[in-house]
A and B are shown apart, each in its own frame.
Chain A
């Protein structure tokens, strides 16, 4: 029976002891411990959230950066192609101009060659004429030295020239 008979002394000390323990722990231990744990939990959660935010920011920055890269590349390509086009155009123009000039020069050359040729021909003609005249003169002069021959000649010319 003693086992289930509560003793007054133990009840008395238990009330006092547990009361004191509760007072001490409730005042100096539990609030500090639970608040400490809660504060640390909050800090960890905040830091995780912040990390997630930073991660997101990084991702968006990265995306922006990539977009910028793509844009820059496109711009560069456009510039390059434009430059190429311009240079091509210039080349074509230059080529055209050069060919035209050459053509003109060829024409000029042709013309001058022609003129020179014509001039040469004329000169040759004149020279030949002069030579012919000189030869004729000399021949005539030779022919006319003899009276007989002159007469024959006149006769011959007379014969040739028919008066019709």
Chain B
């Protein structure tokens, strides 16, 4: 069987499967008594959760239970998320939050302080949020998976460089070397000049961490599927690290530019320090924008793809025939968005790294970079 005919057969099988599944789910959606609400459905898939939902719904769902770790009044409390039955039960007084506390673990107060069992709907419970919650949530789990994956990938690549120096790259090394060289030559060296070697490890780690997690986020099933780089805490920490690195490596020029901006009329600085104020705000807006950009791009991509999937259910509930008619279009757009997300996964990782490198380069001061470069050339 030639490759081409195999390819054709595979395409036919996949399309048939897609059609069958879309029919099945459209009918399922039509039979569902509860009205489908796209908003919560999408948000549920984009945010973090205490268990790793694989498939199914409600009691029949398949979910990987993850450990919940709390420090409640100084005592560590550890139990599996499956004990909470998706928020329908309490365990030793701990339960999933609701209302304003949605998405956190709460401790029930009063009579229910040590309550284990089903929580009645409609009943009022007093509760307070457990602040020191370091549970291994879905995103934390995805973080660990990605850390192991990245470490394994790059340690094996490094091993190959160590054991076969000066040889033609092969396998994973051949795949990653162009990317590493691209980041080094197009991002790090132009921004950091002779200080490249000092910051390259951080920037390369940053790029590959974001890129791999973006890619894993697109994969819809288990090892992927967590919206890690679309989580504000993750992007916030990455931006914070860039901010700290930028501030720590700042030179005299950087602060002079902020408090006494050159090339600006004096009246913008003297009675009212408008420019210094703007520049000072700028110190913080840069990492803030980094944080928001990555978060928004990745989350938006996921929201749009999920919205296309939701369309099938929304139309299916109206009428199964409409649902069937809409599903191919939806799937087509879903695939299109998936391809877009592949692009965005790379672009956002690239942009985050590029801007981080540029901010660090600006903080060090161009003069210093060039001075040392000139010295190096002279030497």
Query: Which A residues fall within an 8 A CB radius of B?
Result: 2-15, 17-18, 20-22, 24-26, 28-37, 39-40, 43
User: How many A-B residue contacts, CB cutoff 8 Å?
Assistant: 125
Please determine whether B180 and A33 come into contact, CB atoms closer than 8 angstroms.
yes
The answer to the question of B63 belonging to the interface, with a C-beta cut-off of 8 Å to chain A, is: no
The answer to the question of B217 belonging to the interface, with a C-beta cut-off of 8 Å to chain A, is: no
CA distance A6 to B291 in the complex (A): 12
Please determine whether B181 and A2 come into contact, CB atoms closer than 8 angstroms.
no
Give the most central of A7, A8, A9, A40: most B CB within 10 Å.
Answer: A9
Q: Contacts A17-B144, A21-B151, A34-B200; is A40 near B48 (CB within 8 Å)?
A: no
Q: Quick one: which of B134, B137, B202 contacts A26, CB cutoff 8 A?
A: B202
CA distance A13 to B134 in the complex (A): 7
Please determine whether A9 and B201 come into contact, CB atoms closer than 8 angstroms.
no
Closest to A6 in B: B233
Query: How many chain B residues touch A (Cβ–Cβ < 8 Å)?
Result: 51
Please determine whether B204 and A30 come into contact, CB atoms closer than 8 angstroms.
yes
Proximity bits, B117-135, A CB within 8 Å = 1, else 0: 0000000000000011111
Please determine whether A30 and B201 come into contact, CB atoms closer than 8 angstroms.
yes
Please determine whether B151 and A30 come into contact, CB atoms closer than 8 angstroms.
no
Please determine whether B140 and A31 come into contact, CB atoms closer than 8 angstroms.
no
Q: For A33, list chain B residues within 8 Å (CB).
A: 154, 157-158, 161, 180
Closest to B140 in A: A13
Closest Cβ of chain A: how far from B226's Cβ, in Å? Answer: 11
Q: Quick one: which of A18, A20, A31 contacts B201, CB cutoff 8 A?
A: A31
Q: Quick one: which of A10, A15, A29, A34 contacts B184, CB cutoff 8 A?
A: A34
The answer to the question of B221 belonging to the interface, with a C-beta cut-off of 8 Å to chain A, is: no
Please determine whether A25 and B205 come into contact, CB atoms closer than 8 angstroms.
yes
A/B interface sample: 17 pairs, CB < 8 A: A7-B48, A7-B103, A7-B104, A10-B231, A10-B234, A13-B136, A14-B143, A18-B237, A21-B150, A24-B155, A28-B155, A29-B151, A29-B154, A30-B201, A36-B162, A39-B166, A40-B165
Closest Cβ of chain A: how far from B176's Cβ, in Å? Answer: 8
Please determine whether B151 and A37 come into contact, CB atoms closer than 8 angstroms.
no
Please determine whether B233 and A14 come into contact, CB atoms closer than 8 angstroms.
yes
Which positions 230-279 of chain B face chain A at CB distance < 8 Å?
A: 231-234, 236-238, 241
CA distance A9 to B205 in the complex (A): 22
Which positions 296-321 of chain B face chain A at CB distance < 8 Å?
A: 299
Q: For B294, list chain A residues within 8 Å (CB).
A: none
Q: Quick one: which of A7, A15, A35, A37 contacts B177, CB cutoff 8 A?
A: A37
CA distance A9 to B133 in the complex (A): 5
CA distance A6 to B288 in the complex (A): 13
Query: Which B residues fall within an 8 A CB radius of A?
Result: 43, 46-48, 69, 102-104, 131-137, 139-140, 143-144, 147, 150-151, 154-155, 157-158, 161-162, 165-166, 177, 180-181, 184, 197, 200-202, 204-205, 209, 231-234, 236-238, 241, 295, 299
Q: For A6, list chain B residues within 8 Å (CB).
A: 231-233, 236
Q: For B158, list chain A residues within 8 Å (CB).
A: 28-30, 32-33, 36
Question: Top 7 nearest A-B pairs by Cβ distance?
Answer: A36-B161, A6-B233, A26-B201, A29-B154, A10-B233, A32-B158, A30-B201
Q: For B236, list chain A residues within 8 Å (CB).
A: 6, 11
CA distance A7 to B209 in the complex (A): 20
Q: Contacts A3-B299, A7-B233; is A29 near B155 (CB within 8 Å)?
A: yes
Give the most central of A13, A20, A22: most B CB within 10 Å.
Answer: A13
Please determine whether A2 and B161 come into contact, CB atoms closer than 8 angstroms.
no
* Sample of 15 more A-B contacts, CB < 8 Å, known A3-B46, A21-B209: A9-B137, A10-B143, A12-B134, A18-B238, A21-B150, A22-B205, A25-B150, A25-B154, A28-B155, A29-B154, A29-B157, A32-B158, A33-B158, A36-B161, A39-B165
Closest Cβ of chain A: how far from B49's Cβ, in Å? Answer: 10
CA distance A43 to B184 in the complex (A): 19
Please determine whether B209 and A18 come into contact, CB atoms closer than 8 angstroms.
yes
Please determine whether B134 and A9 come into contact, CB atoms closer than 8 angstroms.
yes
Please determine whether A17 and B143 come into contact, CB atoms closer than 8 angstroms.
yes
Please determine whether B232 and A3 come into contact, CB atoms closer than 8 angstroms.
yes
CA distance A2 to B103 in the complex (A): 7
Please determine whether B201 and A43 come into contact, CB atoms closer than 8 angstroms.
no
Q: For A31, list chain B residues within 8 Å (CB).
A: 201
Q: For B103, list chain A residues within 8 Å (CB).
A: 2, 5, 7
CA distance A15 to B184 in the complex (A): 25
CA distance A9 to B177 in the complex (A): 34
CA distance A48 to B52 in the complex (A): 55
Q: Quick one: which of A2, A8, A17, A20 contacts B131, CB cutoff 8 A?
A: A8
Q: Contacts A26-B205, A39-B165; is A2 near B155 (CB within 8 Å)?
A: no
Closest Cβ of chain A: how far from B353's Cβ, in Å? Answer: 14
